[in-house]
Amino acid sequence: MKSKVNGISGRWPKALGNLGLSPIMLIVFVVVAGLPLFTDNPFTLRLFITAFMTATLAMGFDFTNGYIGICNFGYAAFWGVGAYTSAILVKDFHVPLPLGLLGAVALTAVMGALIGCLTIRLGGIFASCMCWFVSLALLALARNLVDLTGGASGYSATFMFKPKMGYLPYYYLIFAVMLGIFLLLSHFTHSTMGLAFRAIALDDKAAGSSGINHIKYKIINFSISCAIAGLVGAFYIHFVGIMTPTSMSNEKTTEIMAICFIGGRGTIWGSVISSLVLTPILEQAKDLLEWRQILYGLLMILIMIFYPRGMAGLVEKVRSLVLGKARKEAGASEAQS
Amino acid sequence: MVNILITALLRGGMYSLMAVGLSLVYGVMNVANFAHGEQYMLGTYFGYFCFMGLGLNPFLCFILALGGGFFIGALTEVVIFSPLRKRSGRNWLMNTFLLTLGLSMILKSGTKLLFGNSYRGITSYFKGTVSLAGFSASKDRVIAFVIAVVVIAVVMVFLNKSKFGRAIRAVSMDATGAQLVGIKLKRIYIVTFGLSCGFAALAGAALLSLTPAYPSNGTQVLYASWVVLILVGLGNVGGSIVGGILVGLLETICIQYLGAAWQDVFALSVVILILLVKPNGLFGKGVKSSVE
C-alpha cells in the first residue's frame, strides 16, 4: 500500500493517483463521457449538464472547505458574479464570448483573493460569516444596480451555441471543464501546496512557524476556488440564459455544501460522485419541489450526525475492510506454506 | 435626530432579543445556530394562527408563541444535537453550523409544503399610534419594543440571580467543571436551546404586523442577528443588547439618507470594516474558540 490515494490495489501508477484518477474515477469519467452515445434524450443530457456544473462547484467549494478548513458560506455569490460579468461583457461591451468567460474568471479570482485577505485574521465560524456577509452585500448590489444587472428581475444573456446544435456541445464543454478542474485540483492537493493547505487547516500558527506562508496560501486557495465558481457561473448564464439575484442566494450555497459534504469533505472526488448520483435523481423529479430541499436538509443532518466523512469515508472503510481481509488471508496462507 | 434614535431603538429592540437568544446558545452550547431565522418564521406562524385562527388576545398569542418556540427548541436539542454531541468531537462547532443549515432547509421547505407560499399577515394587533414629543409610532412597534426590553431584563435577572440561571452561566464558562459540581448538562442544554428558540418565536409573533408570515421571512432576520453577534463578539450576551440597537441605528441611518434598498450593502460594509480592525468583534476579548 504505497500510497493511500491510489486505487484499490497498491500497484496503481502513482502518476495517475496523483491526478486523482483512481480506477473508480476513471471508470466514472469514461462512462459519463460515453453517455451521449447511448441516449440523445435532451432531458437526460440537461440533467447531466446540471450535475456537471454542480460537481464542479462542489469541487471548488471543497478545495477551500476541505483543505484550508474555511467554509465559504458565500460561494454562490461568486458563481453569480461570474455569470453577471460574462453576460455583461458579452452583451454590453460586445466582447467575444471566450473573452467574456475569461473576464468572469479573472474578476472572481481577484475577488477571491480579496476575500482571502479579509479572512486572514479570522477562522472557523467568523470566516464563514465574513464570506456570508460579503455575499449578502454582493447580492444586494446585484439587486440595486438596476442599470447594470437588470435588478431583481435578472439579466438575460445570449446562448453559447446555436439552439439547433442541441445540448451536445454544452455537454462536452462542461464535461471537459469538470474533468480539467478535477485533474487540476487533484494535482494541487497532492502537491506540496496541498500539504501546506492541510497544515494551515490544522493550525495556521504552527504552519506559519514551520515556514509556510499561510497568508499567501490562503489567498491562492480562495482565488482558485472562487475563480472556479466564476467559470461555472459564466457557463451557466450562457447555457440557461438568465441569472437573477435570488438564484445566487444562500440556498444555492447550501445545496453545493450538501453535495460536498455528502460526498465527503477534503476529497475532491467525493463531490464529483455525489453530484453525479444525487443531482440527476433530485433534479429529475420536478414534482418533488419542496421535498427536494427537505431531502437535502435531512441528508445533511444524517451525514453530519452519523457519517461526518461522507461517502468517501464509507468507501474508505469498505476498502480497508477488504484490504485488511485480503492481507489477513495472505498472511494465513503464507503461514500455512 | 431624535426621530432617528427612537426609530433605531424600536428597530433594534427585537434584534437584541434575537441576538441574545443566539448568543446564549453559542455561549452555553457552543452551537452556531443558523436555523434561528426559521424559528422566528415559525413564531410568525404561531402568532398568525393564534390571533387570526383562534382569535386570542395578542398577549396570549405571544406567550403561546414563546411556549411553542421553546417546545420546538427543546425537541431540536433532544432529537438532533444530543446524538451529534455523542458522536462529534473535534469539528463540533462547524458541524452544528451545517446541521442547523440542514434544519433550516427542512423547516423552510416544510412550512412551504404545509402552508404554501402565500403571505399571512395582519395589519395590527393593537390599533392606533403612540405619540411622544412630536414623534409617533404604531402601538405594535412600541409594544414589541417593550416586550423585548422586559424579556431581556427578565433573562438577565434569571441568568444572574436564579440558581438555574447561574448553572447555565457556569456551563458557558466550563462545561466539564459545571458537571463536576453536579450540574446536569442535559437539562441545561434543553432549557437553553428552548429559551433561545422561544425568544426567536416571540420576536416573530410580536413583529407579525411588520413581517407577514411566509416561509422565507426568517432569512433577513437571521442575518441581522448574526451581524449583531459577530459585531459584538460571539457568546457575549450583554453586548448583544447594545449590538442590536447599534445595527438598528445603522439601518435607520441608511434608510434615512441612502434609501431602503441600500440598507444591506451599507450595514454589511460597516460590519466587514469593523471585523477587519477587530476580528473578535467590538467587545470580544477572550472569545471561546475564535479560530476553531
Mean pLDDT of A18-30: 82
Please state, in angstroms and rounded to a whole number, the distance separating the CA atoms of residues B153 and B131: 25
> Is the pLDDT confidence value at A19 over 80?
no
Please report the pLDDT score of residue B176 as a whole number: 85
Please state, in angstroms and rounded to a whole number, the distance separating the CA atoms of residues A211 and A213: 6
Please report the pLDDT score of residue A5 as a whole number: 47
Mean per-residue pLDDT of chain A: 85
Which of B84, B265, B268 faces A144 most closely, judged by CB atoms?
A: B265
> Is the pLDDT confidence value at A69 over 50?
yes
> With an 8 Å Cβ cutoff, is A114 touching chain B?
no
The CATH number given to whatever domain includes residue A259 is 1.10.3470
What sign results for the dihedral spanned by CA atoms A250, A252, A257, A262?
Answer: positive
Say if the Cβ atoms of B87 and A305 lie within 8 Å.
yes
With a pLDDT cut of 70, the percent of chain B lying above it is 95
Please state, in angstroms and rounded to a whole number, the distance separating the CA atoms of residues B18 and A104: 38
Whether residue A5 is contained in a domain is answered as no
Count: domains in chain A: 1
Using alpha carbons, list the distances in angstroms from residue B74 to A304, B88, B190. Answer: 20, 20, 5
Say if the Cβ atoms of A306 and B102 lie within 8 Å.
no
Q: What is the DSSP string of A268-280?
A: SHHHHHHHHHHHH
Which of B87, B94, B103 faces A297 most closely, judged by CB atoms?
A: B103
- Owning domain of residue A198: 39-306
CB atoms inside a 10 Å sphere around CB B207: 24
Of A136, A262, A302, which to mutate for an interface test with B (greatest number of B Cβ within 10 Å)? A136
Residue in chain B lying closest to A205 (CA): B291
Phi, psi (rounded to 5 degrees) for A220: -60, -50
Whether residue A34 is contained in a domain is answered as no
Mean pLDDT comparison of A126-135, A201-210, B85-94, highest-scoring range: A126-135
Please report the pLDDT score of residue A10 as a whole number: 55
Residue in chain B lying closest to A200 (CA): B291
Whether residue A46 is contained in a domain is answered as yes
Mean pLDDT of A147-172: 84
Task: Residue A275: name the closest of A55, A109, A8 by CA.
Answer: A55
Mean pLDDT of B78-102: 83
Task: Using an 8 Å CB-CB cutoff, list chain A residues near B91.
Answer: 308
Please report the pLDDT score of residue B220 as a whole number: 84
Note the pLDDT tens digit of each residue in A307-329. 778 888 888 788 888 877 777 67
Mean pLDDT of A248-260: 87
User: And the C-alpha cell for B194?
Assistant: 428552548
Using alpha carbons, list the distances in angstroms from residue B143 to B127, B206, B292. Answer: 11, 8, 40
Note the pLDDT tens digit of each residue in B148-177. 889 989 988 888 888 888 898 888 888 888
User: Which residue shows C-alpha cell 423547516?
Assistant: B107
Residue in chain B lying closest to A254 (CA): B101
Note the pLDDT tens digit of each residue in A267-284. 888 899 999 988 888 877
> Is the pLDDT confidence value at B82 over 80?
yes
Which of B112, B223, B292 faces A136 most closely, judged by CB atoms?
A: B223
Q: Is B132 strand, coil or helix?
A: strand
Whether residue A290 is contained in a domain is answered as yes
CATH code assigned to B2-277: 1.10.3470
Please report the pLDDT score of residue B72 as a whole number: 93
Say if the Cβ atoms of B106 and A122 lie within 8 Å.
no
Say if the Cβ atoms of A293 and B91 lie within 8 Å.
no
Contact A244, A154 (CB under 8 A): yes
User: Which residue shows C-alpha cell 499567501?
Assistant: A216
Whether residue A19 is contained in a domain is answered as no
Note the pLDDT tens digit of each residue in A171-199. 999 999 999 999 999 988 888 888 888 88
